[in-house]
Amino acid sequence: MSNFSARVPVNLLQATNAALATLGHGGNNFTVPAYAGPTASYALLHAWGDPAFEANVAAQPGVVILSGDDPIATTSAVATGAGTEWGADALPLEGIVTPGLYRDGLNVLWYVIQTYDTATWPDPALVPALVRRAKIPGEALPWVQPLDQFDAYKLVNPFTGEADLCTHNGETWYVTQADGAGNNIWEPGVFGWTVVGAEPLDYVTYNSDPVFYESQGVTYG
Amino acid sequence: MLQNILSILQKSVAAAWSPSQLFASGEQGVWYDPSDLTTMFTGLGNNGSSPLQPIGTVADQPIRSILDKSKGLLPTGSELISNGDFSGGTTGWTSVVTASVAVVSGELNITTSSAYGHAGQAITTVAGLAYTCTCTYRRISGTGTVYVEANTLINGGVALGNTPQSSSSSATTTTFTFIAQGTSTTIFAIATGSGDVIGLDNVSVKLLTGTPAVAPNDAARPLLSARVNLLVGTATLSTQSVTVVAAPHTIQFTGGGTVTASGAYSGALTSGQTFTTTAGSLTLTVSGTVTNAQLQIGPTATTYQDVVTASNYTATGFPAYLKFDGVNSKLATNSIAFTTDEMSNFVGIFKFGSATVQISYETSNEAAGNNGTFNLVADTLTTYAVAARGTTARVVTGTITSVTPKVVTTLIDISAPSQVLRIDTVATTSTLSLGTGNFGNWPLYIGMRNPNVFPFTGNLYGVIIRNASTSGATLTSAEQWVAAKTGVTLP
């Protein structure tokens, strides 16, 4: 029986999912994020029982397929082949941790950047130089101040093809403006974020500071 | 003796009982039944040229959509096709460039100028809902075949459902089902042969009652199966390797030979022995004659299932289930408009994944984070938990002592407050406040949390969700019915 897992680099994800949709397999077949850092760099899938689907997945540029009986083990193997890990591979964020994917007691995924002792630094949110939250594409989690482009929020997330989401001050927000590289490092309500369901504000920047148009009643917001 | 007779009578009564009775008074909810092959599709509707095959006669089949039986799967609402009997000539019917149309003796005749010429009509639909199409079609002349299809577009779209192909000049009347994918769906008749003339008549499309559960894509499809026995060639066993999960397994066999395990477990095995494997490959080395061999997950040897190959095994007498892969298997529904504060869920479930959190089903993106929601969580191998929230989230956890299929019932009343988790009828109850309000208008996700976290590894033998309280004889009947479908004997 056809029983396989596959991976595709994130930069080819949208095109791959679109091609499979055109072939009648539905949208967003690759949905499982795989990490070699705080942001997913590959997308994975597992499927079974359909040789025609397997052939169409295998035919997509950049896709690597691995067959196996155990869906979880096969998915881990295809992720490992690209130097990545997915959620099922994440170990408990306990003791001395080395670079890789971990899961805390609340089942939040973290990516350890440098080896450290969790007994010394029990709250991973306080040591971003050592560990950062592994972002789950499409999930709205509490906003965290990005430190650099690697954990900035994206105007167009290459994984989802949509704007990044977060929750902040009791609202769910999505990115509506970003810098030239598509990154948003500002706090929701300051620049480039819009509450889900609301119309985007026409923010502009002036001397690198975010401001509102005067027509919206606020300047130098 | 009297006890046995009473037990047999109870089971007879349960056998006659149907979950449709749970919805007889218009209760909101859903009922998904993997044992009913007429309600499932590998795609988004009937595939006339490649229908779902009986379990065990082919390799296990992935399921893209399953219909909701709670409302009887009845055609409802107004007729969606206009001029389906062609009394108005060709009005409303469009041919693509490779075909022309004319009405002859009350029948639409489609003359093609190249292969797959076709003509049809776009209707208004709701994405995610099921529709039934009835039509009469035939090949009037030519060499190809004719069929009728529901498609996302008149040309170049995605096929949703279709009739069997026919090359007969005698009219065939067929009904097929499809799940709409947008606000417009096209129904057309198509000829595979160039220059063929085909006929179409008496076309009708209506909405089907119920809320289908649909995988968002082909990778997300759970697998329809009735496999219990993990081995192949079981009548006379030969040395083989099988992939196992980290869980107790039980082996049984007859004959004078021996079986020795290596890999995920090491040691000589005797018939009836239960042993715990690690996840990975288990090799069974056979010496001598070993017959009627069965390896299964769980601590109990159950009825022997003959397995020749993965695509040829005995399915009769073994419960059908949908198997979720623990990676990306998922079914989702449109929002279900629950309106009261009482909820009863009945599920046949077998989990064998060891992940700490696995969402078997859930309304909304997170039951604990949205008002008017509920879920069923399979935590590790030893517990199930139900979370529910009016305006306050509560979790009730029940412990299991064996890795076997279970009948899991949840009974929730927000205003009472009451939250009961019954595993094989053994209840764990909470009366802590769930806040206020009713269960809300949320989609139902089966197999993981939406969008794509906490995947479930295991089997679902049936899911019944009823937006009403259930007690007494009705509760007993519902649990007995699910137990029969799951292969569980309730205490």
Instruction: Provide the pLDDT confidence category of residue B422 given band limits of 50, 70 and 90.
Output: very high
Same domain, B445 and B333: yes
Statement to judge: residues B156 and B295 lie in one domain: no
pLDDT of residue A214: 44
CA-closest candidate to residue B279, choices B242, B310, B330: B242
Name the domain boundary from B208, B239, B258: B208
Which of A55, A87, A119 is the last residue in one of the domains? A87
Considering the domain architecture, whether residues B369 and B455 belong to the same structural domain is answered as: yes
Q: Are residues A39 and A98 in the same domain?
A: no
Residues B239-265 have a mean pLDDT of: 95
Asked if A107 and B449 touch (Cβ cutoff 8 Å), the reply is no
Structural domains counted in chain A: 3
Do residues B88 and B174 share a domain?
yes
B402 lies in the same domain as B465: yes
Q: For chain B, give me the number of helices (H) and strands (E)? A: 2, 40
Q: What is the CATH number of the domain that holds B200?
A: 2.60.120.260
Binary contact (A48, B62; C-beta < 8 A):
yes
Domain total in chain B: 3
Among B285, B314, B343, residue at a domain's last position: B314
Closest CA relative to residue B155, chosen from B114, B205, B126, B125: B114
> Is B422 domain-assigned?
yes
Is B138 contained in some domain? yes
Both A154 and A217 in one domain: the answer is yes
Residues 6+ away with beta carbon under 8 Å from B285: B239, B259, B260, B261, B262
Least trusted range by pLDDT, from A125-139, B90-104, B123-137, B225-239: A125-139
Task: Report the C-alpha gap between A136 and A133 in whole angstroms.
Answer: 9
In a domain, B219, yes or no: no
Q: Which residues of A touch B (CB under 8 A)?
A: 1-2, 5, 20-21, 24-32, 44-50, 53, 57, 68-73, 75, 87-88, 103, 107, 136, 138-139
pLDDT at B155 over 60: yes
Query: Using a CB-CB distance cutoff of 8 angstroms, which residues of chain A are in contact with residue B357?
Result: 107
**A181 and A168 within one domain:** yes
Residue B43 sits at the vertex; the CA angle it makes with A24 and B363, to the nearest 5 degrees, is: 105
Same domain, A125 and A167: no
Q: Are residues A127 and A144 in the same domain?
A: no
Report yes or no on B6 lying in a domain: no
Domain, as residue range, for A128:
90-135
Domain limits for position B367: 15-73+322-486
Q: Given A18, A53, A87, which residue is the final one in a domain?
A: A87
> What does the pLDDT look like over B5-55, one tens digit per residue?
444 444 554 558 999 999 999 999 999 999 999 999 999 999 998 999 999
B254 and B148 assigned to the same domain: no
Specify whether B338 is located in the same domain as B457. yes
- The answer to whether residues B303 and B340 belong to one domain is no
- State the DSSP H helix or E strand holding residue B285, giving kind and residue range, or none if neither: strand B280-287
Reading chain A (221 residues) residue by residue, the pLDDT tens digits are: 789 999 999 999 999 999 999 999 999 999 999 999 988 999 999 999 899 999 999 999 999 999 998 999 999 999 999 999 999 999 999 999 999 999 998 888 999 999 999 999 999 989 989 999 898 888 888 888 888 777 889 999 888 888 999 999 999 999 999 888 899 999 998 889 999 988 776 655 555 555 544 444 444 43
| Residues B165, B248 within the same domain | no
Of B158, B242, B357, the CB nearest to A24: B158
Which residues in chain A are closer than 8 Å to B242, comparing Cβ atoms? 69
Backbone angles phi, psi at B107, to 5 degrees: -120, 140
Residue B371 lies in a domain: yes
As beta bridge partners, residue B269 has B259
Q: Are both A7 and A73 inside the same structural domain? A: yes
Q: Same domain for A147 and A211? A: yes
Query: Does the residue B51 lie in any domain?
Result: yes
Give A143→chain B minimum CA distance, Å. 17
User: Does B393 lie in the same domain as B429?
Assistant: yes
- Rounded to the nearest 5 degrees, what angle is found at the Cα of B326, between the Cα atoms of B159 and A19? 35
How far B370 CA lies from chain A's nearest CA (Å)?
13
Tell me if B215 is assigned to some domain: no
Amino acid, single-letter form, for residue B173: T
Question: Residues B338, B481: one domain?
Answer: yes
Statement to judge: residues A34 and A69 lie in one domain: yes
Whether B171 maps to a domain, the answer reads: yes
**Same-domain pairing of A172 and A111:** no
* Domain CATH for B439: 2.60.120.200
Mean pLDDT computed over B424-452: 96
Q: Same domain, yes or no, for B50 and B144?
A: no
Q: Do B327 and A48 touch (CB under 8 A)?
A: no
